Amino acid sequence: MKVGIEDICFYTANYVLDMAVLADVHGIEVEKFYQGIGQVEMSMAAPDEDIVTLAAAAAKPIVENHDMSQLRTVLVATESGIDQSKSAGVYVHNLLGLPSHCRVLEMKQACYSATSALQMACSLVARQPEQKVLVIATDIARYDLNSSGEPTQGCGAVAMLVGANPKLLEIEPVSGLFCEDVMDFWRPNYRSTALVDGKYSTKVYLRSLKQAWQDYQEQGGHSADTFSYFCYHQPFTRMAQKAHTHWLKQVKKELSAEAIEQQLEPSLVYNRRIGNSYTASMYIGLASLLDNTQENLDNKRIGLFSYGSGCVAEWFAAKVQPGYREYLRTAYHQQLLESRTAIDYPTYRRLYEFPNPTDGGDHQNPHETTGPFRLSAISQHKRLYEKTSS
User: What is the SS3 assignment for 312?
Assistant: strand
8 A C-beta contact, residue 106 and residue 92 = no
380 φ/ψ angles, rounded to the nearest 5 degrees: 55, 40
> Residue 96: which residues within 8 A CB-CB, separation 6 or more?
56, 59, 60, 63
Per the rule left: phi > 0, alpha: psi between -120 and 50, beta: everything else, 154 is left
The catalytic residue among 6, 9, 170, 233 is 233
DSSP 36: I
Torsion of CA 345, 355, 379, 142, to 10 degrees: 80
- Does 79 qualify as catalytic in the annotation? yes
The catalytic residue among 6, 41, 106, 111 is 111
- Does 122 qualify as catalytic in the annotation? no
Selection from 20, 12, 19 nearest residue 45 by Cα: 12
- Does 102 qualify as catalytic in the annotation? no
The catalytic residue among 49, 79, 265, 314 is 79
Element (H, E) at 222: none
The residues that are catalytic are 79, 111, 233
